Amino acid sequence: MPEFRAPRGTRDLLPVDRPVWERLTSLAGDLARRYGYAGIETPMFEQTAVFERGVGAVTDIVEKELFRIQPRTEESEAWSLRPEATAGIVRAYVQHGMRTLPQPVRVQYVGPMFRYDRPQAGRYRQFWQWDVEAIGDAGPGIDAEIIELGHRFYTEAGLANVQVLLNSIGDPGCRPAYVARLREYFERHRSELPGLELARLASNPLRLLDSKDPDMAALIAGAPRIVDHLCDACREHFDGVRAHLDALGVPVRIEPSLVRGLDYYTRTAFEYYREGAEGQQQALGGGGRYDGLVELLGGRPTPGIGFALGLDRVVLALAEEGIAAPEPVRPAAFVASADPADSVGRLRVATELRRAGIAARADLGTRRLGRQLEQASREGAHFAVILGDELRDGMVQLRDLRAGTQHAVPLDELARSIQRGESTHHHG
């Protein structure tokens, strides 16, 4: 047993693990380009107050799961590792006066988030999210753009059966009356509530709808539905979101108990699940509208909406569905030589090829030619470049390891020959 291990709830993503992550990250980048979401990067830690306000002080994320940084001195500010990206991005929007830019400001970011969760499959203390935000547009069109974008990410990643669960949670105008009804309903069923849920009934009855306790399922199903108690403006907004999503053909299921229970979240709330896995805790991603958040973090009242997709869970889902991870990049050329001592020659030729844009490797040890060629096949190289006596005349041997052919090539045409061979192989 090694003395040091990665901290509980974290994982090393080793070279064999990385290709699928790189594919997901580049897919996110490509979708961002197509949809017009610019990159943004905020610090991995912020003043704790940003999260207390920007996520909510009475949420599990802040109450139980925040990674607080031990201050070094008494004057140090209280910092925490970010549990999610929205609060920091909205803090940056306000700090940099981004309301003077064309609205909405569309931004996106892939990076690690930190929550002191109880580790289990699909639940880590450091995990990765693709976070997308559009700040400065009240919708409903932008809501649909964002929801469809998240759905497309899953589809293009290879998950064909992802469904959107959608709800509207109203606004500060209509929600209080609904919450009062909900409290009344659960009060009537007080004796059936598990202990933990009783505490929630006092602090925030909406969160009862979010309960994962199986004993709550029947009660939740019978509870008043917020979609039946929306004010006209929220109802119209919700209908607008659905009409836009219908027009785009996004598979949506209205889920009246989806609340993502925070006070300043408004109207649109959504989550992504694989079909058949909707009842489970493990959403692939989720998001919503936060029309009160910019103001809470010190800006002018500004609407906003966004999502966070959990990449760890996408990687797990792809593996479960048996979708093969992409192959690691194979070298186009492996430079070997008859003289085991000539590592200088091998490295020099490999460097020339790399300069020409070719993925090249070379044996930098002192192995015999046979061993070098074995290594070339093990690495899956397309060509072996073999340096020998004819190097005096500026010639090398180019062996196509896939076709099993070999011929002499002038050194100064080597890069071009390899490129030509690579392209006929790929396209021919």
Contact call for residues 107 and 42 (beta carbons, < 8 A): no
Residue 310 contacts ligand AMP per CB under 6 A: yes
Instruction: Give me the residue whose beta carbon is nearest to ligand AMP.
Output: 310
Chain mean position to CA 336: 41
Query: Residue 261 or residue 286: which is nearer to ligand AMP going by CB?
Result: 286
37-96: which residues touch ligand AMP (CB under 6 A)?
84
Q: How far apart are CA 406 and CA 24, in angstroms?
A: 38
- Tell the smallest beta-carbon distance from residue 84 to ligand AMP (Å): 5
Residue 151 contacts ligand AMP per CB under 6 A: no
Question: Judging by DSSP bridges, how do beta strands 79-81 and 45-47 pair with one another?
Answer: antiparallel
Question: How many residues lie near ligand AMP (CB under 6 A)?
Answer: 16
- Tell the smallest beta-carbon distance from residue 161 to ligand AMP (Å): 16
Give the interface segment with ligand AMP, choosing from 141-149, 169-177, 304-312, 383-391 (CB under 6 A): 304-312
Letter string b/e over residues 412-427, b meaning 16 or more CB atoms within 10 A of that residue's CB? eebbebbeebbeeeee
- Tell the smallest beta-carbon distance from residue 284 to ligand AMP (Å): 5
Question: Judging by DSSP bridges, how do beta strands 266-274 and 252-254 pair with one another?
Answer: unpaired
Of 255, 312, 342, 363, the residue at the interface with ligand AMP (CB under 6 A) is 312
Letter string b/e over residues 104-137, b meaning 16 or more CB atoms within 10 A of that residue's CB? bbbbbbbeebbbebeeeebbbbbbbbbbbbbbbb
Looking at residue 52, what DSSP letter applies? I
Residue 285 contacts ligand AMP per CB under 6 A: yes
- Tell the smallest beta-carbon distance from residue 132 to ligand AMP (Å): 12
Residue 124 contacts ligand AMP per CB under 6 A: yes
- Tell the smallest beta-carbon distance from residue 313 to ligand AMP (Å): 4
The residues, any chain, with a CB within 8 Å of residue 75's CB and separated by 6 or more, are: none
Residue 270 contacts ligand AMP per CB under 6 A: no
Beta strands in 61-144, from DSSP E residues, in sequence order? 68-69, 79-81, 105-114, 126-135
- Tell the smallest beta-carbon distance from residue 115 to ligand AMP (Å): 5
Give the interface segment with ligand AMP, choosing from 18-26, 233-241, 308-316, 408-416 (CB under 6 A): 308-316
Give the interface segment with ligand AMP, choosing from 306-314, 343-351, 356-364, 418-426 (CB under 6 A): 306-314
Q: What is the CA radius of gyration of the chain?
A: 28
Residue 313 contacts ligand AMP per CB under 6 A: yes
Of 144, 284, 376, 386, the residue at the interface with ligand AMP (CB under 6 A) is 284
Measuring CA to CA, which residue among 133, 100, 90, 132 is closest to residue 294? 90
Summary count for the chain: helices (H), strands (E): 14, 16
- Tell the smallest beta-carbon distance from residue 236 to ligand AMP (Å): 27
- Tell the smallest beta-carbon distance from residue 144 to ligand AMP (Å): 20
Query: Residue 219 or residue 308: which is nearer to ligand AMP going by CB?
Result: 308
Task: Write out the two tokens for 203.
Answer: 């602090």
Contact call for residues 299 and 95 (beta carbons, < 8 A): no
Query: Residue 211 or residue 375: which is nearer to ligand AMP going by CB?
Result: 211
Query: Residue 111 or residue 122: which is nearer to ligand AMP going by CB?
Result: 122
Sign, CA dihedral 81-83-86-91, equals: negative
- Tell the smallest beta-carbon distance from residue 63 to ligand AMP (Å): 14
Helix runs in 52-204, H state only = 60-63, 86-95, 141-157, 175-188, 195-203
Query: Residue 64 or residue 348: which is nearer to ligand AMP going by CB?
Result: 64
- Tell the smallest beta-carbon distance from residue 217 to ligand AMP (Å): 20
- The interface mask with ligand AMP, positions 129-148, x = CB under 6 A, is x-------------------
Contact call for residues 312 and 111 (beta carbons, < 8 A): no
Of 283, 353, 387, 391, the residue at the interface with ligand AMP (CB under 6 A) is 283
- Tell the smallest beta-carbon distance from residue 37 to ligand AMP (Å): 17
Q: Give the angle 386-388-392 at the CA atoms, nearest 5°.
A: 125
Residue 286 contacts ligand AMP per CB under 6 A: yes
Interacting residue ranges for ligand AMP, rule: CB under 6 A? 84, 115, 117, 122-124, 127, 129, 283-286, 308, 310, 312-313
